[in-house]
Chains A and B, each alone.
Chain A
Amino acid sequence: MPSPRANLAFALILAALLALLPRPGLRFVTYFHGPASFLLTPVQQPAHMLAVWLAGTERLANAAGAPTDVARLEANLQEARLELLQSRGEADNLRTLVRDLSRGMELNPTLSVKQITAPVIGFGSDLSGGLISVRAGKQEGVDTNAVVVVKGVYLVGRVQKVDERTCSVLPITDPAFARMFKSQKFSGVIMLDDQRRGPAWQLESIEDGKLIGKVWETKASDAAAGAAGERPTILPDMLVRLADDKWPASAQMLVIGRIERVEPIANDRLVVTIRPLQDIAHVSEVMIRVADTAPATPAAAANTDKGGKSKP
C-alpha cells in the first residue's frame, strides 16, 4: 500500500495537471461543481441572506427613506413604464414583420415570459470567479442565457450554467461580462425622459462595477433631435435601458442603470459611464425571466401561482 506521502505526491501531480488543463478539458471538471455547491448551500444561502440584511443594502435600495407604500407604487410605475416601452417596441417589430411577411418571410411566434423568483446563494469561495449561484435550476425551468432581473425591471445578469437545482449568473457589473460581449457589443438606449428614446449606447468596458461605453446616434435619436436638428443633450442621471437585438425580445427596455458621468472624446463623441441601480450581490432574491411554454389558460396560471415560486 502506498505511503501517505506517496499519495500526497500523486494528488499534487494530479492537481497540477488539472490546473493546466485547456479550456475544453475543464468541462469535465465542472461537473463536480454541482455536488460541491449542493453540500455548501444549506449554510451558504442563510449566511448570504443574513449578510445582505446586516449590510442593509437591500433595505436602503427598497426604501431609500420612503414609506413602503410609496416604494411599492414606484415599483409598479417602473413596471408599467417597462410594459409601455416594450409594447411600443413590439408594435415597431410587428410593423417590420408585416413588411417582411409581405416579402415572404416566416413569422416567429411570440413567446410569453414567466418570472421565476429565486433566492441568491452567493459567490463561489473565490470572488475572482465572478459568477453568482441562484437557487433555481432545470427543475424550475431555468434555461441557459435566461435574463436575471431584480424587482421585475432592473437587469442584473444572465444565466451562464444551469444545474438541476441551481444556476450560475454572470452579473452585468463583472468585467467578464464585457469580455464575453466584446465581439457582439452589449447595447442600450439612453432615455431622454420617461418616454423618449435618445441615442444608443454600446458597452466598451467595466470598471469598479460601472459600465463604460460610447454613445451612437440612431434613427430614434435623430427623431428625438427634432426638426431643428439639434443633438439631444446627454446628462448625468438619465436612465439607460436595454435595446439589443441579440437579447430576447422580452428583455428589451429593462433598466441597465443611470448615467453617472458623461465625457466628450474626439470627433464630438461621448463616453458615458453607467451605474447599475441594483447589484445582484446585494440582494437576497432575484427574478429569472424564462419563456413560458405552458398553455396560457386560467387553470395553468392558477397552477403556477399555487407553487408560489413563479408568477406570470
Chain B
Amino acid sequence: MKWPLPLLLGYLLLALEAPVREALRLGPTHAAPSLVFPLIVFVALMASTNAALWMAFLVGLAVDLTTLRAPGAVIVAGPHALGYIAAAYMIITLRPMVMRKNPITLVVLSVAGEGLAALVVVALFAIRRALWHGDWADNFFDSLLTELGQRWIGCCFTGIAAVALCALFFPLIPWFGFQDPAIRRAFARRY
C-alpha cells in the first residue's frame, strides 16, 4: 500500500469526525457515527496485514490523542489504538471468507468491527477502574455498561456512514497501491 493517500484520507476524516459526530449524535448520548473507522475496515480488507494493523494503530492513537477526558482534562492514550487493532485483526482473519470488493461487506464489517473496538475500549476503562483507587482513580464514566450500549448504537450509525464512504473509497482503489493482484486487476478494469 502507498501510504500518502490513506494518511491524507485518515487526516481529513479524523478532522471531520468530531463535527459530524456532534451534529449526528443521538440526543445527549455518545451514540454517533464514526467516519474514520470505515477507512480502517477498508484498508484491513484490501491491504497487507502489516499495513492494515499499523493503519488501525495510528488512527486509534490519533483518536486517543485528540480526546481530552473530563474531569481533569487528561488524555488516556491506548484504548482506541488497541480497540482498532483488535477490530482490524478480526477483519483480516475474516477477509478470506467475505467478498472484499462488495461495498456491503465494508458496511457490515464496519458495524461488527466497531462493535468489537467499543468492547475493547470499554473493557480497558473497566480494567483501569478496577486497578486504580483513591487519587489514582479516574471517574470518566458514570456507568460503563451505559457507555458500551451507547457505543454499540453508534456502530449502527457507522454502518450508514460506511455506505456513503464506499462511494469515496472504491473509486480511489487504484491510487491506494494495494499489493493484492486480484484487487488491482478487478479495480483496474472497473475504474
Would you mind naming 6 contact pairs between A and B with Cβ atoms under 8 Å apart?
Answer: A19-B128, A23-B137, A36-B65, A37-B66, A161-B73, A170-B73
List of A residues within 8 angstroms of B25 by Cβ: 127
Segment of B77-85, B158-166, B170-178 in the binding face: B77-85
Q: Are A22 and B132 in contact (CB under 8 A)?
A: yes
| Nearest CB of chain A from residue B153's CB, rounded to whole Å | 12
Closest A residue to B70 by CB, please name it: A176
11 further A-B contacts with Cβ under 8 Å, apart from A122-B19, A160-B72, A209-B27, are A18-B76, A30-B75, A50-B19, A124-B66, A125-B67, A126-B67, A127-B25, A128-B30, A128-B141, A161-B73, A174-B70
Q: Are A125 and B69 in contact (CB under 8 A)?
A: no
Looking at B25, B68, B69, B75, which has the most chain A CB atoms within 10 Å of its CB?
A: B68
| Nearest CB of chain A from residue B101's CB, rounded to whole Å | 26
Q: Are B12 and A131 in contact (CB under 8 A)?
A: no
Secondary structure class of chain B's binding surface, majority of residues: helix
Across the interface, B72 reaches (CB within 8 A) one of A23, A122, A177, namely: A23
User: Taking the complex as formed, is A12 at the interface, i.e. its CB lies under 8 A from any CB of chain B?
Assistant: yes
User: Taking the complex as formed, is A168 at the interface, i.e. its CB lies under 8 A from any CB of chain B?
Assistant: yes
Q: Are B14 and A40 in contact (CB under 8 A)?
A: yes
Please give me the 9 A-B residue pairs with the lowest Cβ-Cβ distance, nearest first.
A19-B78, A124-B67, A43-B15, A161-B73, A176-B70, A22-B136, A209-B28, A129-B67, A160-B73
Segment of A3-11, A63-71, A249-257, A288-296 in the binding face: A3-11
List of B residues within 8 angstroms of A55 by Cβ: 23
**Number of chain A interface residues as a range:** 35 or more
User: Taking the complex as formed, is B183 at the interface, i.e. its CB lies under 8 A from any CB of chain A?
Assistant: no
List of B residues within 8 angstroms of A54 by Cβ: 23
Complex CA distance for A96 and B147, rounded to whole angstroms: 47
Given known contacts A15-B82, A175-B142, A129 and B77 CB-to-CB distance under 8 angstroms = no
Across the interface, B19 reaches (CB within 8 A) one of A21, A23, A51, namely: A51
Q: Are B22 and A123 in contact (CB under 8 A)?
A: yes
Q: Are A15 and B61 in contact (CB under 8 A)?
A: yes
Q: Are B67 and A26 in contact (CB under 8 A)?
A: no
User: Taking the complex as formed, is B57 at the interface, i.e. its CB lies under 8 A from any CB of chain A?
Assistant: yes
List of A residues within 8 angstroms of B142 by Cβ: 175, 179
User: Taking the complex as formed, is B91 at the interface, i.e. its CB lies under 8 A from any CB of chain A?
Assistant: no
Q: Are B57 and A125 in contact (CB under 8 A)?
A: no
Given known contacts A23-B74, A23-B138, A129 and B20 CB-to-CB distance under 8 angstroms = no
Q: Which residues of A contact B (CB under 8 A)?
A: 4-5, 8, 11-12, 15-24, 26-27, 29-30, 32-33, 36-37, 39-40, 42-44, 47-48, 50-51, 54-55, 122-131, 133, 160-161, 168, 170, 173-177, 179-180, 208-209, 281
| Nearest CB of chain A from residue B12's CB, rounded to whole Å | 6
Q: Are B18 and A125 in contact (CB under 8 A)?
A: yes
| Nearest CB of chain A from residue B172's CB, rounded to whole Å | 19
Given known contacts A37-B66, A179-B139, A8 and B57 CB-to-CB distance under 8 angstroms = yes
Q: Which residues of B (113-159) have their CB < 8 Å from a CB of A?
A: 124, 127-128, 131-132, 135-142, 147, 151
Across the interface, A124 reaches (CB within 8 A) one of B18, B79, B141, namely: B18
Closest A residue to B121 by CB, please name it: A126
User: Taking the complex as formed, is B41 at the interface, i.e. its CB lies under 8 A from any CB of chain A?
Assistant: no
List of A residues within 8 angstroms of B61 by Cβ: 15
Across the interface, A125 reaches (CB within 8 A) one of B36, B136, B141, namely: B36
List of B residues within 8 angstroms of A36 by Cβ: 62, 65-66
Q: Are B21 and A127 in contact (CB under 8 A)?
A: yes
Complex CA distance for A160 and B74, rounded to whole angstroms: 10
Q: Are A161 and B15 in contact (CB under 8 A)?
A: no
| Nearest CB of chain A from residue B184's CB, rounded to whole Å | 22
| Nearest CB of chain B from residue A158's CB, rounded to whole Å | 10
Q: Are B75 and A47 in contact (CB under 8 A)?
A: no
Closest B residue to A37 by CB, please name it: B66
Complex CA distance for A189 and B38, rounded to whole angstroms: 48
User: Taking the complex as formed, is B44 at the interface, i.e. its CB lies under 8 A from any CB of chain A?
Assistant: no
User: Taking the complex as formed, is B16 at the interface, i.e. its CB lies under 8 A from any CB of chain A?
Assistant: yes
List of A residues within 8 angstroms of B57 by Cβ: 8, 11-12, 15
| Nearest CB of chain A from residue B57's CB, rounded to whole Å | 6
User: Taking the complex as formed, is B102 at the interface, i.e. its CB lies under 8 A from any CB of chain A?
Assistant: no
Q: Are A4 and B139 in contact (CB under 8 A)?
A: no
Q: Are A23 and B132 in contact (CB under 8 A)?
A: yes
User: Taking the complex as formed, is B54 at the interface, i.e. its CB lies under 8 A from any CB of chain A?
Assistant: yes
Q: Are B82 and A208 in contact (CB under 8 A)?
A: no
Across the interface, A19 reaches (CB within 8 A) one of B15, B22, B54, B82, namely: B82
Across the interface, A131 reaches (CB within 8 A) one of B15, B16, B69, B128, namely: B69
